[in-house]
Structure formats: C-alpha cells, structure tokens
Amino acid sequence: MAQVRIDVAMIKQIEHLFYVQKLTKRAIARSLGVAPKTVRKFIKIAEQRNKDSKEDEKSPCPDKVLRLPGHWSQAMDWEKIHSEFLQGTSLTILHKELALTAVSYWTFNREYNSQKPKTTNVTMRLIHNPGEKSFFDFADGIEIVNRETGELIKTQLLAAVLPFSSYTWAEFLPNQKQPNLIQGMERAFHFFGGITPYVVIDNLKPGVQKAHIYDPVVNPGFVEFANHSGFAVVPARPRKPRDKAAVEGNIGIIQRGFYQEVRNQLFYSLAELNAALREYLGRLNTNVMKEYGISRCDRFEKEKSLLKPLPSQSFEVSEWRQAKVHPDCHIQVDKCCYSVPYAYVSQIVRVKLSPRLVEVFDSQNQNLIATHSRLQGQFKTSTNDSHYPQEKVAVTRFEIKFAKNEADKIGPNTRAIVDHLLDCEYPLKYLRRVQGILRLTQKGAVSHEAMEYAANLALKFQKTTFHYIKDAALHFEHRSQRSPHLAPQRDQTELYLHKQI
C-alpha cells in the first residue's frame, strides 16, 4: 500500500467518520487507505482532548468568574485580554493573573486564539516594467582582516537589482558614506550598461536627508548626482521593506549563498573580497531561475536596450554644509576661511565643497554668492576685497598703518614681523593675527623686551603664527622672573669650602 500523507484534513476526516458516521476503525482505515494503527492513534488523541475539555468545564474553581453559568470563556473579556497581549503582556502572565486554576494554560491559549480578532494581511503583487527602475540597498558585509595587526574590519554590502530581470550587482564598501555610495552606484550603472529613469533607495542619510512617508527630503549632494546621471530618486517609505523587495530578496540570496560559501575563508582586502563576490555573481546571474525557466542574464537582454545611456563624464562628488558668516565677512570650513559678501554677515549660508572649489549659496533662494579655490591645509584664508564695503576697506587700510605705528613703539623686531605679515598681496588675511600680537603688549601680558625676543625668533625660524610668538614671549617673561643661580663663594681664609668637623 502506498504511503498516504496524514495532514490536518485527513485527521478531521477520521474523526468525522468515527464520531458522526459511526464507522469502525478498520472500515475507516480501508476507506481512507491508511493503516489501522494510524486510525487508532488519532482517535485516541481526539478522545483524550475531549476528556481534558470536559474536565476543565466540570472542575471547581474558587474564582467567582468561573462560577458563572455557561462555558467559562463566556465570562472572559477577550477584547481586554487581546489589548494587553498587544501591549506586551504574555498569555502565561494573563493566565496566572486571571487565576484560572481549573483551566490549563493550553486550553486558555487555544480559546484565546479562537476568540481573538481575525486579521488578513492583503498585499499587492508589484508589476515591474523592463528598464524602468533599479533598486539599491545596504547590508552588513563580511569582515576583512588587517594583515599587520590581525584586526577585523567591518564592511558594508551595496547591492543593486533590476526588478524585471532580477539582474544583480553587488560590491563590498568600507562604509555607507555618500562618496562611497555615489561611486558604487556609478560602477553599478556601468555594470548594467545604462541607467534606469527611476532609482529606489533606502532612507539613509547619504541619500535621504529627511525620511517621510509622503514628502521625503533628498540629500542635496545626492540630488546633484541624480541630475548629472539623469534619473529620478524615489525613496522607499520608512519601515516598508516591501517597497524594495527585489533588492531585499537578492541580498538574502547573496547572504545565504556567497556568505556561506566563504564562511571559512579569510580576506585581507576589499579587492580580494570583491573579486570572490564577482565570481559568485557571475554564477548567480547565469543560473536558470525555476520560476521563469531562464537565467537573469537572459531576461536582462530584454531590458538592456531600454536603459538610458551613461553620462560622458564621471560625477565629481561634492559635500554640502552650513556655515555662519562672521563679522569679518568670512566663513570657516575645515579650519580655513573664505570671504563672503558683507550683506550676508551673521546669516547662515550653504556651502558646497568639491575637491577643487568652495561654492557659497544663500540659504533662501539658493543663489551663488561666492566662489573660491579650495585651500589645502589648515589655518589659511581666501579673501576677495570686493566682498567688503568701501568704507570698511578704507578703515582697514587705516588699521594697517596704525598697526605698523604701534609696532614701531615696541621695537625693530616687532616692526619687522608686522611688515612681513602685512606687506603682501592680501594684507587683510593677516590683520587679525597682527592685532592679536600687538594686544599682548597693550594688555600687559608680555613686556616689550619679551615681544622683541619672540619676534626675532619668529623671523629667524620662519614661524609667524600667533601661538608661536605668544609662547616665545611668555617663555622669555617666565625665564626673566627666575632668580639667577650663583656659584657658591668661600672665605679666602678657609682652606675648604665646608668647615671641618
């Protein structure tokens, strides 16, 4: 006799034939094509279940709720129980709190499941047109090992999928920062051979500045990349993974496949790890999918021609920040100062940083108000005199002359250091430094002699920063205040310096 699968429907049919139609166990076994011992087994289970249920109903219970006439469950406030269960209270605790000593926990659990509101989760099947969208998402990557220290370094997996064909690209990156995201997406588009009109991304800060179910705010730097490449950004809804189910599913395939294949291997660089991943993706995209009977590559051929062409030039990654315009008409970015028109003093402006330029925009109308070449290093200044009002420029020129006159009062070395700083193409860059140096003597922090000593050292060693001159002058002051160390004197009449005892 062929083996018959025993499922819930078969068990219910055995109970129906035995209790309702009053057939014998052997007759039931013949009619259903199962072994007689199987029929006896499930009838015995049913009899025990009925016996437990009757004992639960007849057992005396001190709780007055169970003394009410009728079935005990009729006295239960199942809506309140369900509400507390949704708030995190377990059924075990609820069973104990209600003092249902005469009802077993399993009977209470079974009754609760039959009484709780039935909900049906209905979802729509998404239809993806060929070449219309691409999905991008991050996931935790595989750790690589530092050869020198043995330290484990975390990585991030960036995956991209064309949902119509499930054609998949992925790469391990050091982090999820915007430059890595944009450069990774460019490599993905080159892998696909084109760009889709829409790109669906998760709500990460490099891509989405403020997540919202209806009106998300896309990161300005990512908007520039989208405009350069020619696609529209469609952020997924917060906490709705089904919006990007295509890429979520393929990330799961990579984690269950590639991650398990290399679980016993050690990788010492991202290049080595990505080389192994590319080999796996080649097999993944060429394997036949059971649902369609063809591979991802075969389906991709149908949408490859529908993709938009790649841009002729690579995108220059830029970063957006906010800065406040100081009273001297400058903003500070990465410890360097850049001038801004005086009309924007005390206002917040938006700054676009690229490897070569610093562009400043007003925060209201997004108008470009200043452009500078990006300075390399720290504590440098880029000043455009046209950003100052004419009367302020005149005052500034007077201040330069005044500073030189004050330096003459201190000494020649101080005048030399002031001339060295101010006699250049842009004297305004160092005016504040000169004023700070002169105020050291004006406030009495150091003497004229100490300032002359510090200025001499600054010129000698070409270290003209404010902090070096201040430290040198304070060092001179501290040294001059110490009592001199004199050699011990002895009486000429004594033979030894110390008296003999």
| Mean pLDDT of all residues in 163-178 | 92
pLDDT given for residue 256 in this prediction: 87
Q: Please count the other Cβ atoms lying within 10 Å of the Cβ belonging to residue 479.
A: 10
SS3 of 412-446: the string is HHHHHHHHHHHCCCCCHHHHHHHHHHHHHHHCCCC
Output Rg (C-alpha) for the chain, integer angstroms. Answer: 41
* Rounded distance between C-alpha atoms, residue 52 and residue 61, angstroms: 15
Task: Taking the CA atoms of 211, 212, 214 and 220 in sequence, report the sign of the dihedral they define.
Answer: negative
Q: Give phi and psi for 455, each to the nearest 5.
A: -65, -40
* Rounded Cα distance, 258 and 285, in Å: 13
Cite the DSSP H helix spans in 72-219. 78-86, 91-97, 105-115, 178-192
pLDDT category of residue 330 using cuts at 50, 70 and 90: very high
% pLDDT > 70, the chain: 85
Residue 269: its pLDDT value, please?
A: 93
Q: What is the pLDDT of residue 424?
A: 78
- The beta strands (E) that lie in 262-343 are given as 319-324, 330-333, 336-339
Assess contact for 432 and 456: CB atoms under 8 A: no
Q: How far apart are CA 286 and CA 284, in angstroms?
A: 6
Residue 173 sits at φ, ψ, to 5 deg, of -125, 160
| Predicted local distance difference test score (pLDDT) of residue 482 | 61
Q: What angle do CA 193, 197, 203 make, to 5 degrees?
A: 105
Residues 6+ apart with CB under 8 A from 43: 14, 15, 18, 25
**CA-to-CA distance for 246 and 162, rounded, in angstroms?**
8
Could you give the C-alpha distances from 494 to 151, 312, 487, 488, 499, in angstroms and in order? Answer: 72, 98, 17, 14, 8
pTM reported for the whole predicted model = 0.53
Reported as a pLDDT band with limits 50, 70 and 90, residue 62 is very low
Q: Which amino acid, one-letter code, is at 195?
A: I
Confidence category of residue 52, pLDDT binned at 50, 70, 90 = low
Structure tokens at 345: 């003093």
- Looking at residue 501, what is its pLDDT? 53
252-262 pLDDT tens trace: 899 988 998 99
User: pLDDT band at residue 185, thresholds of 50, 70 and 90?
Assistant: very high
- Domains (ranges, CATH) in the chain? 8-115 (no CATH), 133-304 (3.30.420.10), 319-387 (2.40.50), 390-481 (no CATH)
Model pLDDT for residues 357-405, shown as the tens digit of each residue? 999 999 876 789 999 999 988 888 998 888 887 656 545 566 788 888 8
Helix, strand or coil for residue 496? coil
For residue 71, the model assigns a pLDDT of 64
Give the separation between CA 50 and CA 132, rounded to whole angstroms.
59
Average pLDDT, the chain: 83
Residue 20, pLDDT > 90, answer no
Name the packing angle between helices 448-461 and 390-410 (round to 10°): 110
Rounded to an integer, the average pLDDT of 274-283 is 94
How far is it, in rounded angstroms, from Cα 437 to Cα 407? 10
**Which two tokens mark 388?**
């100052």
Residue that is written with structure tokens 């990505």 in the block: 274
Q: Which residues have C-beta within 8 Å of that of residue 292, sequence separation ≥ 6?
A: 299
